[in-house]
Amino acid sequence: MDAQSRGRADEIDPADQWVLNPRTGNYELQLGRSAAQQRVAPAPRRLRRPSSSTAAPAPAAPSPAVPKPRRGEGPPGGRRGGGRSRKGGGAPDRRKRLLAVTGGTLAFLLVGGGVGGYLYYEHLNGNLKVIDTGGAGGGFKKDQPINVLVIGTDKRSGKGNEGYGDAESVGHADTTILFHVSKDRSNATALSIPRDLITDIPACPTKIDGSVKEIPGTRGTRFNNSLGQEGRDPGCTMRTVKQLTGLDVDNFMMVDFNAVKNLSTAVGGVPVCLAKDVNDRDSKLNLKAGEHRLEGEQALAFVRTRHSFGNESDLDRIKTQQQFLGSMMREMKSKETLTSPKKFFSLAEAATKSLTVDQGLGSIGKLTALAGELKDINPKNVTFTTLPVVDNPAEPVNRKATVVVNSAQADPLLQMIRGDVSLTEVEKKEQAAKDAAEADAKGKQDALLQGNRAPAGDIRVDVYNGGGPPGSASTTLTWLQNSKGVYKAGNHGNASARLTATQLEYAPNQADQARALADMMGLPASALRPGAVDAAPRTPMKLTLGSDFKEPGTPLGAAAPQQAPEGVQRVEADKAVCAK
């Protein structure tokens, strides 16, 4: 139940309606006798384990949906009332595993801006708010790294939020976390982007009333203006993050103040630790030093507190928010939460009512498919970090309000994330096996560069821009023809898909051309994509420039650092840290 409906006489909490029938020994849904309560909802079909495909949403279920127990089984998460016990591999075990997958693994993603929960039932689709970002994201893919942008907006809409700052504000990108999931799904990095970072916001095609309007770009402005201001939607924040980090953003999730209040209440409170007494007049947080369990308004006050922690900057508030989110993640994955039917329904309602997503995540089925991709990540391999920044040198010393990127630390950190390098240690045995497999694959890939090279005049290639700077296909074509003598090259503009890494596709009988072009372009062996069938005469190879491409002649594919730069802030999601 959400905060607005709690307490009404005609509202029913399904978790409270399962009653043991002594005649059958089964749990049954028993509602009261009021007119509202006599509307007994039919049970939905049992859900199968989430599919790995993002294209197939879960089958529709009646609303409101309450799972109907099988004969001899208790309510979801509860104990059975009779009959012989079922050992190992039974339906209750399968249900608990699916519950853990959908709830626990989505918890971190959804909580990233203040939400989380168990997303099972198709009737919850109606709670989701969906925005068409106009092609800003390509959607997450199986067997590829996943980048989901979690946005917490400071929009003051909703009951009880009138007193927080500017009630008329359309909202900014107040809390922004880029959640990167490794290709092998063994680890994840949550990169916080400071709201006061000075950066450039690109031009953003935005759908307004069914038509597309392009909002002009802005140079040298706060990052948080990438959302809400001048009509910018989350797609513009996605484009800004891609330009800033060099990472393709697949999807976004956005929440507001109510998400923190409702989700922290639904989970039964979030444990936090204070290293000192806090009485903050701005956020209204008033707590003694020590451990506390916060929910509702107190939880929101905790994540909004700025002037009582650290050096009273937004950077220290980011650390506090990361600690809160890690704690909420642990709470949602706890046994007490995963086995509580009441928390199950409360979290499902609170999460979906708080969530705005792009079309690629616009259904419970798609969110569940994403959960299936994340189910094996251990919290100890989830690392929070913050994009390294320094005070803006353009501001007076006594009026430091904004920051700029600290390139010395940010560049290698972003290179690690783009290179899919974990910031935490994965299990040693798993890492050893992974390293061995990668070494074997690298050896086979490197062999592609061994052999003859074709003369420049014999190279035929079509150039596409799949993620490089605007105009990259044209500048590369000119460079190849004028500087390298590759006269049989053609410019084919933008590719149909966005690529993180540049790739060269060719047939076996074009291998000598591919090696020669790789030498000219500085392509690593990993960029080569040989086909299985020889090409016909005069058939060109296909070169698609990815987001790793900077300019012609600049080598690609330098090995990513294996260690984070010294001084980069980070904390693992399984660590409890006291705010100070």
- Contact 342/1 with Cβ under 8 angstroms? no
Residue 427, pLDDT above cutoff 50: yes
Of all residues in the chain, what percent carry a pLDDT higher than 70?
71
Query: Which residues make beta-bridge pairs with 495?
Result: none
Total Cβ atoms within 10 A of residue 42: 10
Any residues with CB less than 8 A from the CB of 444 and at least 6 apart, and which? none
How far, in Å, are 109, 296, 346 from residue 325 at the CA level?
A: 10, 15, 19
* 64 or 162, which is more confident: 162
SS3 244: helix
Report the sign of the C-alpha dihedral through residues 43, 356, 252, 469, in that order.
positive
Query: Which residues lie across from 279 on neighbouring strands?
Result: 286
Helix (H) or strand (E) holding 213: strand 211-215
CB 342 within 8 A of CB 16: yes
pLDDT at 351: 79
Which pLDDT value is given to residue 69? Answer: 41
pLDDT at 311 (0 to 100) = 78
Place of tokens 């209440």: 265
pLDDT given for residue 439 in this prediction: 64
Q: Helix H segments across 56-204?
A: 91-99, 105-111
Min mean pLDDT across 101-115, 227-241, 250-264, 398-412 is at 101-115
> What mean pLDDT is predicted for residues 173-190?
92
pLDDT band, very low/low/confident/very high, at 95 (cuts 50, 70, 90): very low
Sole residue written with tokens 């190849």: 480
d(CA 173, CA 150): 10
231: left (phi over 0), alpha (psi -120 to 50) or beta: left
pLDDT digits 0-9 by tens, 526-559 = 889 999 999 999 999 999 998 888 888 888 866 6
Structure tokens at 452: 């003859």
Average pLDDT in the 28-46 region?
41
Which pTM was predicted? 0.66
Separation of alpha carbons 580 and 577, rounded Å = 9
pLDDT given at position 563: 81
| Alpha-carbon gap, residue 539 to 575, rounded angstroms | 56
Q: Alpha-carbon distance 148 to 137, whole Å?
A: 9
Three-state SS string across 524-553, please? CHHHEEECCCCCCCCCCEEEEECCCCCCCC
Query: Residue 578 pLDDT more than 80?
Result: yes
Model pLDDT, residue 156: 55
CA distance 105 to 185: 11
